[in-house]
Chain A
Amino acid sequence: MLEAFGITPQALIAQLLVGLINGSFYAILSLGLAIIFGLLNVINFTHGAQYMLGAFFAWIGLTQVGNWLGMPDFSINYWVALVAAPLLVGAIGIVMERLMLKRLYHLDHLYGLLLTFGLALVIEGMFRHWYGISGESYSVPEALQGGFRLESFGLFLPKYRMWVIVASLAVCIATWYMIERTKLGNYLRAGTENPKLLQALGINVPLMITLTYGFGVALAAFAGVLAAPVFQVNPVMGSNLIIVVFAVVVIGGMGSIAGSIVTGLALGLLEGLTKVFYPEASSMVIFVVMAIVLLVRPAGLFGKEK
């Protein structure tokens, strides 16, 4: 039957594998967004810019820091960047939250959205001014170069792309576990339900909120470092992706951790399928699904009605 579309089963599976890779990016980004919205009730439009910051810091660490410090041979390699960039961007996120976001919690969601959107534009504008639009190259780390030739699928699967799937899934599952199954996670979820009561019980809720925002931002930056060798590191890489990620979060249910992971992967697969059969629609299919879901189940597939 597939032959009618000019596709062999092998080609289809190859495309689905590729879709899974994109799905892992969507999963990890929407996880960060879902955490921030679920626990802070803030629609973090800066998420895309923070993803870009993660990629840029990884690139700067690899190619620029040595020159700045006067030690041309010094560079921060990929593996260190995987940890350092999220920490750095997370710290920046925490500063943002302390100085600006926290003043808006008592107001309508719209203000948080406007603020974070404005911040995204400012950050992207700064990097565009410093680095231009064409982007910079970040090479795949030595250990992950090359790939597996899957003759039966006629596919050469780059090691690095497999690593992206593994790393994203590992981080997503670890995060989910931490939030749903540990004491810390319990506090976080309680904080969303009833922050005053939790505060009364002696938990430092504002600190928890700040750290949670920092963690969500760090997740975005982590995705950015993962993305750097795959896509060009350029100032608008986040804004291209963020709209799709928002659609994913809406479909999964704003605030459902497991939902955003599953939906991210599923939509990546769906997009991959669309690229096989009707490529021109591939950038649109996720929004079509979002429209349908909003009509049928407004809280999202995994969301709970509030």
Chain B
Amino acid sequence: MKRNTLTKAVAAIFVAAAASSSFAQKISDDVVKIGVLTDMSGTYSDLAGKGSVVAAEMAIEDYSKSKTILGKKIELISADHQNKADITANKAREWFDKEKVDVIVDLVTTSAALAAMEIGEQKNKITLNSGAASLDITRSKCTANNVHWVYDTYNLGKSREALVKAGKKSWFFVTADYAFGHNLERDTAQIVTSNGGTVVGSVRHPFPGSDFSSFLLKAQSSGAQVIGLANAGQDTINSVKQAAEFGISQKQTIVPLLTFITDVHSLGLKAAQGLSVAESFYWDLNDKTRAWSKRFYDKHKRMPSMVHAGVYSSVMNYLKAIESTKTDDTKAVMDKLKSTPIDDGLFKGNIQVNGKFSHDFYVFEVKKPNESKGPWDYYKLVATIPAAEASAPLDKSCKLVK
């Protein structure tokens, strides 16, 4: 009799387990909701901002014209985090708790990204970061529910290795005085010194800055062969312009360590020609990127930056992962993303255990005005750095790396 009861009990447990696992094969809240949290109006709004929302919309429509997945609706919501960590944290909390958002994308600006990642870990929801730069995102600050999609400060530093090997050995850094600038300087300086170069000095400028003349003069008087600009967006644009004004670019090489095509567009080829730029996406790389970028251009009226391409790619692959696992459960989707090679015409590579999407990186040179056939035709490809070399080695400082 006892055995019979035990058997029934075990059977009952199995039935319950089976029932609950079929419960897991379900879309939470009956909707897949994607949130684009970005800088809509500040320093980074051109390289991310509205364009990221356009990219996310494109991905949803390309995935399903009727905007449905597994019979449920796909919804999109967006907001401006103004590059502030506290606004980001509050918005993420509100979205995950009240708005039924399942994933947050874009997240430009490192401080905002880290805040969102922490909330994502607390609430067991996914963040797919296409905008922020810091290597710490996949090292000391890594989280289980995050993917770092497009670029990081290691990629950017590594892209300069060829320069150092070619003889540009002495470097001076002009650095934006906040986490991103410090990290970019740190990771580039490491590449410089490990290849036999020296860091002659560095100067930190307030973020955001507008007049860099005194910092550039310091760089000039240091006599370094290379002046590395560890800043981005407006700061980079102004630094490059002012360096040309003071005749610094004649004797020393200015290397902007993080540049987006939107920056070059704003500077103009006359001021930007000859600059060495490193990105992981360019609209004119091949037929696939050209075709996609043209469709993006028709909607946004500007060519996509690598961040925009990353938002499209991360949303598309997220939806595909849900389709394949039949659920939007965070762990299932993350496991799927980390175990599936990605090749969507924009990026090709694999997502590593620490959340880094490892793919190729490219070094471009900005064309001279007479080499360009029209607006946005700005880059010529100088080198391709394969993924294995471009991405930082896995490091135990990330708790996910065993």
Contacts and interface: CB of A to CB of B under 8 A. Distances in A.
A8 B217 CA distance: 12
A11 B215 contact: no
A132 B245 contact: no
Contact of A156 (B46, B206, B247): B247
Contact of A137 (B46, B204, B246, B266): B266
A135 B217 contact: no
Given A19-B214, A133-B43, A279 B266 contact: no
B41 A280 contact: no
B262 interface: yes
Interface in A1-51: 8, 11, 14-15, 18-19, 21-22
B215 A275 contact: yes
Interface string A250-293: 00000000000000000000001001100110111000000000
Interface in B264-285: 265-268, 270-271
Interface stretch (B67-75, B133-141, B231-239, B340-348): B231-239
A241 interface: yes
B221 interface: yes
B211 A134 contact: no
Nearest to B233: A134
A160 interface: yes
Contacts of A160: 245
Interface stretch (A52-60, A112-120, A232-240): A232-240
Nearest to B223: A154
A237 B210 contact: yes
A163 interface: no
A52 to B, nearest CB: 12
A199 interface: no
A12 to B, nearest CB: 11
Interface in A142-170: 147, 149, 154-156, 158, 160-161
Contacts of B215: 275, 279
| Residue of A21, A22, A133, A149 most packed against chain B (CB within 10 A) | A133
A136 B208 CA distance: 17
Interface string B236-266: 0110011001111000000000000011011
Nearest to A231: B210
A182 interface: no
Contacts of B213: 18, 21, 161
A128 interface: yes
Nearest to B246: A156
Contact of A134 (B46, B218, B271): B46
Contacts of B204: 279-280
B291 to A, nearest CB: 25
A139 interface: yes
B177 interface: yes
Contacts of B267: 137
B350 interface: no
Interface size range on A against B: 35 or more
Given A134-B262, A156-B247, A232 B214 contact: no
A140 interface: yes
Contacts of A11: 217-218, 221
Interface in A98-145: 128, 132-137, 139-140
A19 B214 CA distance: 8
A22 B212 CA distance: 11
Contacts of B246: 147, 156, 158
Contacts of B242: 230
Interface string B194-212: 0000000001111011110
B219 to A, nearest CB: 11
Contacts of B203: 279
A133 B42 contact: yes
B45 interface: yes
Given A128-B41, A133-B42, A232 B217 contact: no
Contacts of A237: 210
A108 to B, nearest CB: 30
Contacts of B211: 18, 22, 230-231
B231 to A, nearest CB: 13
A155 B217 contact: yes
B196 to A, nearest CB: 25
B208 A240 contact: yes
A136 B266 contact: yes
A137 B241 contact: yes
16 contacts: A15-B217, A18-B213, A133-B46, A133-B49, A134-B262, A134-B265, A135-B266, A137-B268, A137-B270, A158-B245, A158-B246, A241-B210, A272-B214, A276-B218, A279-B205, A279-B214
Given A137-B241, A137-B271, A279-B205, 20 more contacts: A11-B217, A11-B221, A21-B213, A133-B42, A134-B234, A134-B237, A134-B262, A137-B267, A147-B247, A155-B217, A156-B247, A158-B245, A158-B246, A161-B213, A161-B245, A231-B211, A232-B238, A232-B266, A240-B208, A280-B177
Question: 6 closest Cβ contacts across the A-B interface?
Answer: A283-B206, A134-B266, A156-B247, A275-B214, A134-B46, A137-B268
